[in-house]
Structure 1
Amino acid sequence: MRGGSKVVVDPHKHKGVFVAKAKEDALCTRSMNSGESVYGEKRVSVQAPGQRVLYLGAASGTTVSHVSDIVGPEGLVYAVEFSHRSGRDLVNMAKKRTNVIPFIEDARQPARYRMLVGMVDVIFSDVAQPDQVYSSH
């Protein structure tokens, strides 16, 4: 994204998400680790709402890093990933973001990690299999 001083940042309808308006518009989140990017993304700092999120299908954590930015230092992201290979990257990303708690577990088996996950405001499911869902029962 280009624009330098010509970039205008406006709040999005969702708290913690912003729109950077330049030659091309882009969505922005607040960085929990300013000065360092996860995958070479541009960074914008804003206030965040501090919610708790259960993220199922966290993969290597690129999208989780944005959710971490959105909830801010007062929030928390429980990130569940089944793959050990992707999970290594997720754990390494979480070392630099104190509001991300990674779990290398099967999202279809919440009994394995439910005692470690507190109450959440939002459940986000980004899983590869349609039967990988979280049930509150």
Structure 2
Amino acid sequence: MRIRTIAVLAAALALPLTACAAEEDTAEPEAKPSATVGAPVEKEAEDSGEAASSPPAKVDSGIPKGPTGQARTGYLDALRAIDPWFVDDKGEEDAIDNGRNQCSSLDGDRAVWSAQKRFGKGPLREVTEAEAKKINEAVRKYICPNS
């Protein structure tokens, strides 16, 4: 039975591949991407001999880097002051990643809801509205003060 299942799956996966191969035979070949695709704008400008007209695209989609030094300590201490569970149960790196991701939600009308979902753990640990507001204050103070 297992061999039959594997054979059926293999045939099902191979069928679309043969259709793609037939289309490629009749179509004109596409240009291959250059080696500089995904390279920073400055690198492309150097290659073309022109000055860069805009800064390189943000690789991290606008998510700030994690805090370091006293900002990191202050953020983790602020979370522990709200409830040690936010740091101790999930770990420091998860707490920092949650804070970095929360920056994108601070200016919206769902900032509290987002903090509740991001820092909570479903029915195992729900974040109250008051806790979410304090989390957002800590995130704004230590991770993304320009938000």
- TM-score tier (shorter): under 0.3
TM-score normalized by the length of structure 1: 0.25
Higher strand fraction (1 or 2): 1
Query: Greater CA radius of gyration, 1 or 2?
Result: 2
Higher helix fraction (1 or 2): 2
TM-score normalized by the length of structure 2: 0.24
